[in-house]
Amino acid sequence: MAGEIHSSTDYIKHHLQNLTWGQHSDGSWGLAHTAQEAKEMGFWAFNLDTLGFSLLLGVVFFFLFYRVAKKATTGVPSGAQNFVEMIVDFIDDSVRGSFSAKSDLVAPLALTIFAWIFLMNLMDLVPVDWIPGLAGMVGLPFLKVVPTTDPNATFGMAIAVFALVLFYSIKIKGIGGFAGELTLQPFGKWALPINLFLEGVTLISKPISLALRLFGNMYAGEMIFILIAIMYGSGMMMASFAGILQLGWAIFHILIITLQAFIFMTLTIVYLDMAHQDH
């Protein structure tokens, strides 16, 4: 595939294309070797890179925290234990500050969301050509290494949170209470259609805002790294300038990837807190 990249536009499109597996127009199943083939595969295609890196990073998170928890000691803690305890205390403070009800799910969920999204975002700091270049050497036409730049991943997580919000809204308030929230506020029973419209938009906007905020910020960050990478092929002076830009943007991007993981986690806690409140 590298031989088919003839311009900056081709380079950008190549790096923004997922490794897609699905059904071809002739009925056979396999990898898409062009963006058009991936488009023709339709809704039921699978982005193998998004799924693969998401699962891999989830396993990394689980393994690291499990290993530290298994070796935890009340004596002199190791550096890894100090780091994990710092993260756990941070999550605990965030949950205590934003969640007023009692639940055994919210704190572990918040920890999982923050750590998992942070690890997925962190992949954006890997130079854009390293892993895709290795993938091309083994015959893979495309490979995106940052799962959160794929809206399928961000919407998947957001919809899972939304399902929990609906579950606890009905569990705590009952079907009647939940329906009453959607139809009787803020203007009372005489404005039921208006109430339903306003509350319905507010409800549906929760997963959309969660997904698009994370996707938009990470996609923009990835695009900047790709544009900087193009500068390396424009002569020695531009390559030197690109190196400075890449370092500066990488340092600044550490703040972005952490902030986006924190925002997704915080909004999840707030939405679940609202679901537990019975008006």
- Give the residue extent of every domain in the chain: 2-276
Residue 81: Cβ within 10 Å count:
15
Length of the chain: 279
Q: What is the pLDDT of residues 57-75, one digit of tens each?
A: 999 999 999 999 898 887 7
Provide the percentage of residues in the chain whose pLDDT is more than 90: 70
Across 6-148, the runs of DSSP E, i.e. the strands, are 20-23, 29-31, 46-47
The pLDDT of residue 2 is 43
Q: Is the pLDDT of residue 1 over 60?
A: no
Using CB atoms within 10 A of its CB, is residue 36 exposed (0-12), middle (13-18) or buried (19+)? exposed
49 and 142 Cβ atoms separated by less than 8 Å: yes
Distances (CA, A) of 231 to 22, 49, 184, 247: 34, 26, 57, 14
The pLDDT of residue 154 is 97
Global pTM reads 0.92
Average pLDDT over residues 126-142: 92
Q: What is the pLDDT of residues 23-43, one digit of tens each?
A: 998 889 999 999 999 999 998
Q: Is the pLDDT of residue 271 over 90?
A: yes
Question: 1-10, 115-124, 172-181, 195-204 — which is least confidently predicted?
Answer: 1-10
Cα dihedral 265, 270, 276, 277 in deg (nearest 10): 180
Average pLDDT over residues 146-162: 97
Catalytically active residues are 209, 213, 217
Q: Residue 133 and residue 106: Cα distance in Å, rounded?
A: 40
